[in-house]
Each structure stands twice: as C-alpha cells, then as structure tokens.
C-alpha cells in the first residue's frame, strides 16, 4: 500500500502544540524542546557586516525541523494567496529598494530574480542544521552597496549586509509566515505566533549576520514591525514598480503567444490585482497609492475565511504531499 510522506500529525494539527498556558514561558519552551527532540543550530555572529566568529548555542530560540511551525507553513503551496507581500515590503525600505534598483535584474527579468533568490532561502529553512546555504546567501550580498540619493535613507551610503537592512529582509519573510497562516489557514494562537517567531531566530542565525537588530520575542517583533511600517517605510521606485501592474495589467510573459495571453489576462489580471493589493498592509497600500475600497476589503476577508474553513483545510490536508508543499519542503520532510 502506498504511504504518503507527511509531516507528523502533531506538527500539522490545527490546534498546534498542546501546552499548559499557565506555565512560565521558559518552562513551556523547555517542554517543546524535549518533545521535538531536535538540536539547536550553531549560532553565528558577524561584527556588523561580515567579520564572523562562532558563538555557543543559546536557549532564546526554537529549532527548525519537521515539528516546527515555520516548516509547516513556509513551503506551503497556498502561499501564493498572499501575493508578493514580502517582496513589496522589502523594497519599501529605502536602502534595500535602492540596492535592488542599482544591482538587480528585477526590472529587466523579474522572473529570473525570483528563481535565483528564493531557492537558497528555502534551502536555508529546510536544510539540516549543518547542511544549508545560509552563509552562501549572506555572501551573495557582499558586493551590493552604493550611494543613497539625497534625502533618502538613514545614511549617505547603503550596504546589503548592514544588520538593520538585512534583518528587515528577513523580517518580511517571518511576517509572511505569520500573515499567511493566520489569514488563509487558521487563526493562530498567541503561543503559536511566539513559537513561529522563536523558530525564525534560528532561521536568521543560519545566515551568519549580526543579530543585533533582532527582537527578543514576538511582542517585541510586533512593535518593531509596526514602527517600520508607520515610521520607516517609503514608496521607493522599486516597490512602486513591483505593484505597478496592479493598475496597468501584466505584460505578456516570455514564451506565451500574445493571442493566448490576451485571453488569459482577462482572468489573470483581476485576480492578481486582488491578491496583490488585498495582501498588503493598509499602510503600504496608502503609501503606494493602490486603490482599495471597503467593499473590496469585505470580499477579501470572505475569500480568506473560505480558505480557513474546516472543509477546505480537510481537503487540502488529504492532497498528496507534492501538491501541498514545494519541492524544498517536501525534501526536508522526507529526509
């Protein structure tokens, strides 16, 4: 009889980990570590940019692995429902947006950039503790530096490995996991949000970049996130380009006959605009000048509620693993 490779039922149950909420946080985390029977990764610290030195394992984070919620959600193929949320928000940090503008093929070949950038990040998450490309991802960014336009950014120059810049890019992926799961899978408990964030600290440390800007816990991360959206984000040209097709329509992809795209785009463009705009925080929509009405918001919330419903989740959970998860996640669970 054919047996599907699936994450453990404990990891994938809708109720998450069963703990006594009245216990102190430190006790609950220790209990999780025993239940998950996993080792912590070796932590790496880099002096501001690239000067690295080994650091002993600490107990302020949770491990990645088959029992982790980051594994459960990050490689889920339903992630397309949030649109390009993390990419747009990344580029709304002036320094990061400028680095993309100056150094990336994002404008000339957006698909190529996505195909090149995402696989190493997925492999950093789903790789083993001692076998992942996290520091290679960091090293890709050594040469991404330059001068900021007058009046933009916190300094005259930028560098992709500046800890504040690098952590913001990571933060958008962490928030992507939280937003996706809470919006399209199930309403997360406070404990599940804390667990995802503590797992994301292990994820970030795999890059070997200074963790100086990294908040200590989920509550602190939420304050950091709100501050970035309210006080730091800008409508950088790179971010505006990334969402420009919401109003203009998407161009014909390479390899697709124009006549075919003319027909397909009649359905594709409205759906893409709905997911892209609806998937952004209200503050980002305002800064980028994206139209969004109360009626559209109600439609979006109804759409999300359908995906969160018990019947839809039941159907999804009974699909083959290869349909539910991308290849990197499937390989991780099968290892």
Q: What is the DSSP string of 188-215?
A: PPHHHHHHHHHHHHHHHHTTT---TT--
Helix (H) or strand (E) run with residue 51 in it? strand 51-55
User: By three-state DSSP, how is residue 157 classified?
Assistant: strand
Q: Where are the alpha helices (DSSP H) in the chain?
A: 9-12, 25-36, 69-74, 85-90, 94-103, 110-126, 134-139, 163-180, 190-205, 218-227, 237-243, 245-248, 258-278, 282-288, 294-308, 310-317, 321-324, 327-334
d(CA 8, CA 55) in angstroms, rounded, equals 31
* Length reported for the chain: 335
In sequence order, the β-bridge partners of residue 147 are: 157
Contact 53, 205 (CB under 8 A): no
Burial of 58 (0-12, 13-18, 19+ CB in 10 A): exposed
pLDDT tens, position by position, for the chain (335 residues)? 444 444 544 344 444 443 434 444 434 554 444 343 333 332 233 334 333 333 333 579 999 999 999 999 999 999 999 999 999 999 999 999 999 998 875 555 555 555 567 888 999 999 887 778 888 888 888 888 999 998 887 888 999 999 999 999 999 999 999 999 999 999 999 999 999 999 999 999 999 999 999 999 999 999 999 999 999 999 999 999 889 888 888 888 888 999 999 999 999 999 999 999 999 999 999 999 999 999 999 999 999 999 999 999 999 999 999 999 999 999 999 98
Please name the residue that has the structure tokens 């709100």. Answer: 226
Q: CB neighbours (10 Å) of residue 101?
A: 17
Residue 48 sits at φ, ψ, to 5 deg, of 60, -55
What pLDDT, on the 0 to 100 scale, is given for residue 20?
Answer: 38
Query: Which residues sit opposite 128 in a β-bridge?
Result: 131
Q: Are the CB atoms for 167 and 213 separated by under 8 Å?
A: yes
Q: What is the gyration radius of the CA atoms in the chain, in angstroms? A: 20
Q: How many beta carbons lie within 10 A of that of residue 157, not counting itself?
A: 12
Using CA atoms of 307, 200, 273, 298 in order, give the dihedral in degrees to the nearest 10: 50
The structural domains of the chain, with segments of one domain joined by +, span 28-334
* pTM given for the model: 0.81
Question: CA 104 → CA 8, 80, 91, 95, 269, distances in Å?
Answer: 39, 23, 12, 13, 25
Q: At what angle do helices 218-227 and 190-205 cross, to 10 degrees?
A: 80
């Amino acid at each position: 009889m054919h047996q599907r490779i699936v994450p453990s039922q404990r990891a994938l149950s809708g109720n998450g980990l069963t703990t006594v909420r009245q216990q102190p946080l430190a006790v609950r985390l220790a209990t999780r570590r025993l239940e998950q029977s996993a080792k912590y990764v070796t932590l790496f610290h880099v002096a501001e940019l690239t000067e690295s030195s080994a650091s002993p394992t600490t107990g302020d984070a949770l491990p990645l692995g088959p029992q982790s919620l980051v594994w459960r959600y990050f490689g889920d193929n339903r992630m397309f429902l949030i649109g390009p949320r993390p990419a747009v928000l990344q580029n709304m940090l002036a320094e990061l947006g400028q680095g993309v503008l100056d150094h990336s093929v994002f404008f000339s070949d957006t698909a190529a950039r996505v195909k090149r950038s995402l696989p190493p990040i997925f492999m950093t998450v789903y790789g083993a503790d001692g076998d992942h490309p996290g520091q290679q991802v960091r090293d890709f960014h050594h040469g991404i530096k330059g001068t900021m336009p007058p009046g933009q950014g916190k300094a005259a120059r930028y560098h992709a490995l500046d800890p504040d810049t690098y952590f913001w890019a990571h933060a958008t992926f962490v928030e992507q996991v939280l937003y996706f799961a809470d919006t399209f899978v199930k309403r997360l408990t406070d404990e599940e949000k804390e667990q995802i964030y503590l797992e994301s600290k292990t994820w970030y440390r795999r890059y070997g970049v200074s963790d100086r800007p990294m908040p200590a816990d989920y509550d602190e991360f939420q304050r950091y996130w709100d501050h970035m959206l309210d006080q730091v984000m800008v409508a950088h040209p790179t971010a505006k380009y990334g969402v420009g097709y919401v109003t203009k329509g998407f161009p014909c992809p390479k390899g697709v006959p124009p006549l075919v795209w003319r027909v397909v785009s009649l359905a594709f463009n409205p759906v893409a605009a709905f997911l892209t705009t609806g998937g952004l925080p209200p503050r980002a929509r305002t800064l980028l000048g994206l139209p969004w009405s109360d009626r559209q918001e109600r439609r979006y919330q109804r759409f999300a509620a359908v995906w969160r419903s018990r019947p839809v989740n039941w159907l999804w959970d009974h699909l083959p693993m290869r349909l539910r998860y991308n290849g990197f996640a499937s390989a991780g669970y099968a290892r």
